[in-house]
Amino acid sequence: MNYEYPAYQSLTPADREAPHRMRRLRDLGLGESPDPEFDEFAQKLAQITGAPYAMVNFISEDRQYFAGLYTPPAARTSTPEVAAAGQPGRVMPRDHGYCPHVVVRRKALVLDDVCDYPRFAGNPVVDEIGIRSYLGAPLIDHTDMALGTICVVDTEPRPWGRRGLETIKSLAAELTTRISQRTGR
């Protein structure tokens, strides 16, 4: 017998809420362009956690959009939509990274070393960007819709621990409240 395996097999979970989320994001005017407030929030995430990369991420049916993005100064490019080689940009396919898992699970996700988890070790961000650790939480609004995530990542394994989990959940709640206040919806 001869078995052929694709070079990368997506393990990204099905997202049945995506069409409803897209309508909600459009109603709120979110997820289609960079937002200075979200960039500032991503910088705050990076400072609090000590991570080199931080994002405020809104997820559609086929892509992720980082409306808030913080990268180390040396990694920044002149065009924020396009990443420098080996660096995250504003747009990423839905099957890259870990945020789609957080949105579907509706729970925070702590990966001290993504390589310790076969399901996550084969994700394209490991090889393309060198991501080794992830900490993210969903942004669940007052309508009980998971709009997206906040997350931090590092190219080195990190022991995020309970403190990291509590921090990311608390910051997700803070940003969700700010989104509600600014949109009034």
Residue 43 covered by a domain: yes
Quick: pLDDT tens for 96-117. Answer: 889 999 999 999 999 999 999 8
Give the range of the structural domain holding residue 149, as residue numbers without chain letter: 18-183
pLDDT in tens, 135-155: 999 999 999 999 999 999 999
The answer to whether position 4 is within a domain reads: no
pLDDT classification of 78: cutoffs 50, 70, 90? very low
pLDDT tens per residue across span 6-54: 444 447 788 999 999 999 999 999 988 999 999 999 999 999 999 999 9
The secondary element (H helix, E strand) that includes residue 80 is none
Q: Is residue 119 part of a domain?
A: yes
User: Is residue 103 in a domain?
Assistant: yes
pTM above 0.75, yes or no: yes
List of residues 6+ apart from 24 with CB closer than 8 A: 141, 143, 145, 147
